[in-house]
Chains A and B, each alone.
Chain A
Amino acid sequence: MANKKINKKNIAKLLGDWSKEFELFIPSKDEGIAKFAKWDGKDTSFLDWHRNTIVPPKAIFFPPVEEMFSFQKDKQSYHIELPSSDGQKQLIFGIRPYDANALTILDKTFKDTYEDPYYLPKRKNTVLVGLGCTKPYDSCFCTSLGGSPTDSANVDLMLTDIGDEFLVEGVTDKGRELMSMSSELEEATEADETRAKETKEATYQKVTRQLDTKDIEEKLLSSFEIQDLWEEIAAKCISCGICTLLCPTCYCFDINDELIKDRGTRFRSWDSCSFPVYTKMPMENPRIEKWRRVRNKVCHKYEFYPMNFDVIACTGCGRCVRQCPVNWDITQTLEKMQAKVQSG
């Protein structure tokens, strides 16, 4: 199917058409912060502000707190009830390329390693409509990780800003099906295609933060035992969970039961390897010193994940850099590490 376009003025109508079929999520600032929220049927304010949401869209598939099952004591055994899933089809509109990429990275854990019964059904029921960035932040570095601000690799349908309109490209069959569900889309012209191409090239150049990722896995391996280095790197970290909880590729969770008399619920909730009490429940945290925790976070993304899955578990979204209350910066960390390893 050829590419199409949509006038920004008609976005609400397009979303309206899709929302007949899907539960629709859009980037929203409704609750005081930028995150993905259910569409209220009219809000298109993201057209004016949408850059990077604070809470990543992973929260739709892997929410901060999620019921796993409830249980009721029944004589000598327990009766277990799984949460009901309505199988509702979902559409995420306006997901950024780095966040879509993060979902592909999360799939390695939640789909390829084992089949996570909470994440997967939602993931399968969801179509992703990507929206390319036009104004990357100074914290963004997706281009250092093989991405680009307008990359369509991990979405079903891709939108590129071409002024008063968006160019609409069908990427997968699911995406092309979406195109046929609305009569708001017009045929794209040659000129539109050219403009889209120009925008893509120009935006790519706007990502100024660079990280050299060549041989990074090996370098991290050789830096692993340099305690001084990691102590220096970790010094200012305060061990909060911001960088990890808000990272679109972090997936650690904690499990808790809540009991009242003979019935209860089991929940899972976001956890972070930055916390001193991480894994304290089954045993001790093997990483009591802060530098070990900071090292783990960096190595998990840039060494262990590539070892296991051939892909760096970082998309360069820059959230960890921008949201950290002490401006701990993963790119500076990796630069410092590389300099140290190179100097021997």
Chain B
Amino acid sequence: MKDRETEQRLRREAKALLEQGKVDYIIGFETGSLKFTTTPLITKDKDSVDRLIINPFIVNNLSEYLTELKGRVGIVAKGCDNRSIVSLIQDNQVKREDVVILGVPCPGIIDLSKVEGLVGKDRDELDDVTRDGDKVVVTVDGEKKEFPASEVLFDNCLGCEFPTPQEYNILLDESSSLVADKTASRKGIETLEGMPQEQRWDFWEKEFSRCIRCYACRSICPACFCERCFVEESEPQWIAPVPRWQDNLIFQVIRNIHVAGRCTDCGECERACPVNIPLRSLTKEMYDLVDDLYHFKAGMDKEAAPLMTHYETTDPEDFIK
């Protein structure tokens, strides 16, 4: 019900922005072509804003498109997307005055893979999946099954610290009532931390052996905004552009170092990976690492200097001889 109202308000605001010439584009979500799926809607057309939707499946981090579009953009942003936008502003990739942020307080996004795992059916075989407060109701073969939201939301949503956008022009709803579950959100990482060092390396060797170098993790990541990525450099050639686990792993380690302090734990890289490599067990670790070391959280303050261009004389150096 609430989504319906938010949706109506969004359509009104988006239409007004386009009509008044305040933006050239609107970026939001519309119904996708597969069951439950949503898809980005990027439009200049004021009539197509009626296709904009808000529901528990609006998963993409739309800030990804900001560096590509020329002109002023009205953009639908959940908590994490919002921080990615701020981070892009910090990095001078986007001007604050060029974006009109339509903030959506986010109750957490439903991970259909988790639903599939719980009910033992693929998503196209489910009749319905709806959110009801702290529960998610799944209808299969006419039968309703209830699950606590914490069992079916994306891991990164469970760890989300700021589900309600902090930097916005219009906030489409009151603040979010997301129930976080920090432990569940770090489960993958904790399992890894419990392993001996060599075993962790073996784990990643195995995982990265199936990487096909589609670069979806990089393409979908708003923090990976380089026009030319180190991977494609040929003089010197840092890593081979062929999908071998060694080079795949180096690619991902360096990518994580590059997005340190920019990654907002939006979870998009892991979701995009077609071969299910648990990429978030890397990105979330880096996210927590920079928080521990430098008390830095990405995209919290548009005036703040980006993490790696900045330093404090008091930065930890206990590891230096």
A171: Cβ under 8 A from any B Cβ:
no
Binds A, one of B88-96, B185-193, B210-218: B210-218
Given A240-B214, A240-B218, A329-B33; 7 other pairs, CB 8 A cutoff: A33-B275, A238-B64, A241-B215, A254-B242, A258-B240, A269-B243, A327-B34
Q: Which of A40-67 contact B (CB under 8 A)?
A: 51, 54-55, 64-65
Binds B, one of A181-189, A195-203, A318-326: A318-326
Contacts A246-B274, A326-B39; is A138 near B212 (CB within 8 Å)? Answer: no
Interface, chain B (partner A; CB < 8 A): 32-35, 37-42, 60, 64-65, 68, 122, 124-125, 206-207, 209-210, 212-216, 218-220, 232, 234, 240-244, 268, 271-272, 274-277
Interface, chain A (partner B; CB < 8 A): 31-33, 35, 51, 54-55, 64-65, 135, 137-139, 235-236, 238-242, 245-246, 254, 256, 258, 267, 269-270, 272, 275, 277, 280-281, 290, 321-323, 325-329, 331-332
From A54, A280, A325, A331, B216 is in contact (CB under 8 Å) with A325
CB-CB nearest in chain B for A268: B242
CB-CB nearest in chain B for A319: B274
* A65 B33 Cβ-Cβ under 8 A: no
* A240 B242 Cβ-Cβ under 8 A: no
* A240 B216 Cβ-Cβ under 8 A: yes
* A137 B268 Cβ-Cβ under 8 A: no
* B243 A242 Cβ-Cβ under 8 A: no
CB-CB < 8 A to A54: which residues of B?
274-275
Q: How far is the CA of A35 from the CA of B275 in the complex (A)?
A: 10
Looking at chain B's contact residues, the main secondary structure is: loop
* B210 A31 Cβ-Cβ under 8 A: yes
Closest beta carbon of chain B to A262's beta carbon, Å: 18
- Provide a sorted-by-A list of 30 A–B residue pairs whose CB atoms are within 8 angstroms: A32-B275, A32-B276, A33-B210, A35-B210, A54-B275, A55-B212, A64-B243, A65-B243, A65-B244, A138-B34, A139-B124, A235-B40, A236-B42, A236-B65, A240-B218, A240-B220, A245-B212, A246-B212, A246-B214, A246-B274, A256-B242, A269-B242, A269-B243, A280-B232, A290-B68, A325-B220, A326-B39, A326-B220, A327-B38, A331-B33
Contacts A269-B243, A327-B34; is A137 near B214 (CB within 8 Å)? Answer: no
Q: How far is the CA of A258 from the CA of B246 in the complex (A)?
A: 14
User: Which of B32, B42, B219 has the most C-beta atoms of chain A within 10 angstroms of its own C-beta?
Assistant: B219
Q: How far is the CA of A277 from the CA of B276 in the complex (A)?
A: 25
* A137 B272 Cβ-Cβ under 8 A: no
Closest beta carbon of chain B to A35's beta carbon, Å: 8
CB-CB < 8 A to A277: which residues of B?
232
CB-CB < 8 A to B277: which residues of A?
32
* A65 B275 Cβ-Cβ under 8 A: no
Closest beta carbon of chain A to B28's beta carbon, Å: 11
Contacts A65-B243, A138-B34, A277-B232; is A241 near B210 (CB within 8 Å)? Answer: no
Closest beta carbon of chain B to A240's beta carbon, Å: 4
Closest beta carbon of chain B to A289's beta carbon, Å: 11
CB-CB < 8 A to B125: which residues of A?
135
CB-CB < 8 A to B216: which residues of A?
238, 240-242, 325
CB-CB < 8 A to A321: which residues of B?
33-34
CB-CB < 8 A to B64: which residues of A?
238
* B212 A240 Cβ-Cβ under 8 A: no
* B212 A270 Cβ-Cβ under 8 A: yes
Q: How far is the CA of A236 from the CA of B232 in the complex (A)?
A: 23
Q: How far is the CA of A63 from the CA of B51 in the complex (A)?
A: 41
* B42 A235 Cβ-Cβ under 8 A: yes
CB-CB < 8 A to B40: which residues of A?
235-236, 326
* A241 B213 Cβ-Cβ under 8 A: yes
CB-CB < 8 A to A254: which residues of B?
241-242
CB-CB nearest in chain B for A330: B33
CB-CB < 8 A to B218: which residues of A?
240
Q: How far is the CA of A329 from the CA of B39 in the complex (A)?
A: 10
Q: How far is the CA of A269 from the CA of B240 in the complex (A)?
A: 11
* B240 A327 Cβ-Cβ under 8 A: no
CB-CB < 8 A to B41: which residues of A?
236
CB-CB < 8 A to B68: which residues of A?
290
Q: How far is the CA of A246 from the CA of B211 in the complex (A)?
A: 12
CB-CB < 8 A to B34: which residues of A?
138-139, 321-322, 327
CB-CB nearest in chain A for B68: A290
Q: How far is the CA of A167 from the CA of B241 in the complex (A)?
A: 45
* B210 A32 Cβ-Cβ under 8 A: yes
CB-CB nearest in chain A for B32: A327
CB-CB < 8 A to A64: which residues of B?
212-213, 242-243
CB-CB < 8 A to A272: which residues of B?
214
Contacts A236-B40, A240-B216; is A270 near B210 (CB within 8 Å)? Answer: no
CB-CB < 8 A to B210: which residues of A?
31-33, 35
Q: How far is the CA of A327 from the CA of B53 in the complex (A)?
A: 15
Closest beta carbon of chain A to B63's beta carbon, Å: 12
* B32 A65 Cβ-Cβ under 8 A: no
* B60 A326 Cβ-Cβ under 8 A: yes
* B122 A51 Cβ-Cβ under 8 A: yes
* A65 B39 Cβ-Cβ under 8 A: no
Q: How far is the CA of A71 from the CA of B220 in the complex (A)?
A: 38
CB-CB < 8 A to B38: which residues of A?
327
Contacts A256-B241, A267-B242; is A241 near B220 (CB within 8 Å)? Answer: no
Closest beta carbon of chain B to A283's beta carbon, Å: 14
Closest beta carbon of chain A to B249's beta carbon, Å: 15
* B219 A269 Cβ-Cβ under 8 A: no
Q: How far is the CA of A241 from the CA of B40 in the complex (A)?
A: 18
